[in-house]
Amino acid sequence: MRSALRCFITCCALSSLALAQTKPATPAVTLAATPPMGWNSWNWFAGKVTDKDIRQAADLMVSSGMRDAGYMYVNIDDTWEGQRDANGVLHSNGKFPDMKALAAYVHSRGLKLGIYSSPGPKTCAGYEGSYGHEQQDADLYASWGVDFLKYDLCSFSRNIGKAAPGDEQKQNEMMRAAYVKMHEALLKTGRPIVYSLCQYGDDAVWQWGAQVGGNMWRTTGDINPNFDRISLIGRKQAGLSKYSGPGHWNDPDMLEVGNGKLSLDENRSHMGMWAMLAAPLLAGNNLSMLTPETNAILTNREIIAIDQDPLGREATRIFAEEPVEIWARPLANGDVALAVFNFGGDVTFLRGIRMHLREAGAANGWKARDVWARKDLGRINDKHKFTLPGHGSLVLRLSR
Ligand code: GLA
């Protein structure tokens, strides 16, 4: 009996060892292991962006300290595309005389270059898309030294990928297939290129974005520099956290920090919310007009550390009662990030609001660090009292 038991234990141990040896190791995530950080031309320059603007953005990312804070990708959005030649090879237009030289310049600044295309025949701004030339375009990007591709649905669903009226399933299948096609083309180049899906959150992309090879996928329509729009997008991310993680991120769109007439509190709430959401941080402002205030927001190391936390767990909403919401996320070292947002326009005295420490994964008596004030608050409890201005927020890093 005893020997039978011993055999059972040994056999189990041996077979699980054999299993462990034959099971392929999960490959380590190397591409977009944390949410990609960088800058993108669209929010400020839109269709006017030129080679000179991209070089200047790269220079300013270095001199402003943004590169050293983690902003790595310099992304050219729509309107760089020219015409295809007789062999189908796409050329950049007159605003971008030499893409290879531009990539080399960006790389020489210790940065990476991003580019933009569409699975349709035309991009959103009406320029040449990649339809029918996917591999050719992927090879071209790789030959230039491109490191990031934003692939924007645009005209695809209006013509090429248009199924019979009412056949939504077919339409969605065609869209997914178009994203797979470019993913495979990128893989074939052998160059690591971050793949950013842009189709505005259609067909619950968070449920399948990673399967079609996406390293990130837009979860919403376009952002603009208006706090109502920014906060609406942020709040709509509730429930999506389980879909994102190292290598594949929900993307609530690029940052508007420093654009429009956003106030200090609004810019901080925007940045803080995106960090809680483990969102890609792609600044979208004119870096030649970067103020010390905007720079301090974009390069706040403690906020960035929350966004870039290696555990990669996006925050969940743990409390919502107009106009206040509390979001929390666990961090790799056992700390917890907790953020309270006042989405209302008025000053709110939050005396009656419980901090929800336990729901956040912390507890009464944990130490709190105010990330924007860069101040240790000592040990706090659920009755911690504070005041938030309209559109303001409090971001705490809590530790045992
Ligand atoms: C769409 C995208 C934007 C931008 C423009 C460019 O609207 O959502 O982010 O890329 O196209 O035309």
Q: With beta carbons less than 8 A apart as the criterion, state whether 49 and 77 touch.
A: yes
When computed from its CA atoms, the radius of gyration of the chain, rounded to whole angstroms, is 23
Q: Please report the sign of the dihedral spanned by the C-alpha atoms of residue 40, residue 293, residue 304, residue 388.
A: negative
Tokens of 296: 């301090």
Please name the residue that has the structure tokens 């983690």: 70
Residue 167 designated active-site: no
Nearest CA to 273 among 291, 287, 252, 294?
252
Q: Which of 139, 203, 222, 370 is catalytic?
A: 222
Please name the residue that has the structure tokens 């309270």: 340
Peptide bond just before 246 cis, omega within 30 deg: no
Which amino acid, residue 78? D
Which amino acid, residue 159? N
Q: Cβ(198) to ligand 1 under 6 A?
A: yes
Ligand 1: residue whose CA is nearest its atom 5: 124
Please state, in angstroms and rounded to a whole number, the distance separating the CA atoms of residues 141 and 292: 35
Q: Cβ(77) to ligand 1 under 6 A?
A: yes
Please give the distance, rounded to the nearest whole angstrom, from the Cα atom of residue 112 to the centre of ligand 1. Answer: 20
**How would you classify residue 203: left for phi > 0, otherwise alpha for psi between -120 and 50, otherwise beta?**
left
48-99: pLDDT as tens digits: 999 999 999 999 999 999 999 999 999 999 999 999 999 999 999 999 999 9
Q: Which residues face 370 on adjacent strands? A: 375, 396
Cβ neighbours, 10 Å, residue 99: 22
Q: Which residues contact 229 (CB under 8 A, 6 or more apart)?
A: 223
Q: Which residues contact 141 (CB under 8 A, 6 or more apart)?
A: 115, 149, 189, 191, 193
Q: Cβ(81) to ligand 1 under 6 A?
A: no
Tokens of 315: 């925050």
Regions of the chain where pLDDT drops below 70: 1-27
pLDDT score of 346: 84
pLDDT score of 27: 67
pLDDT score of 157: 85
Give the N- to C-terminal CA distance of the chain in Å, as an integer. Answer: 49
User: Which residue from 149, 153, 158, 198 has its CB within 8 A of the most atoms of ligand 1, so it is best to mutate?
Assistant: 198
Which amino acid, residue 290? L
Write down how long the chain is. Answer: 400
Q: Which residues contact 346 (CB under 8 A, 6 or more apart)?
A: 390
* Pairing assessment for the beta strands 249-251 and 216-218 based on DSSP bridges: parallel
Please state, in angstroms and rounded to a whole number, the distance separating the CA atoms of residues 206 and 242: 9
Q: Which residues face 388 on adjacent strands? A: 348
Residue 152 designated active-site: yes
pLDDT score of 26: 65
Q: Cβ(325) to ligand 1 under 6 A?
A: no
* Pairing assessment for the beta strands 348-349 and 387-388 based on DSSP bridges: antiparallel
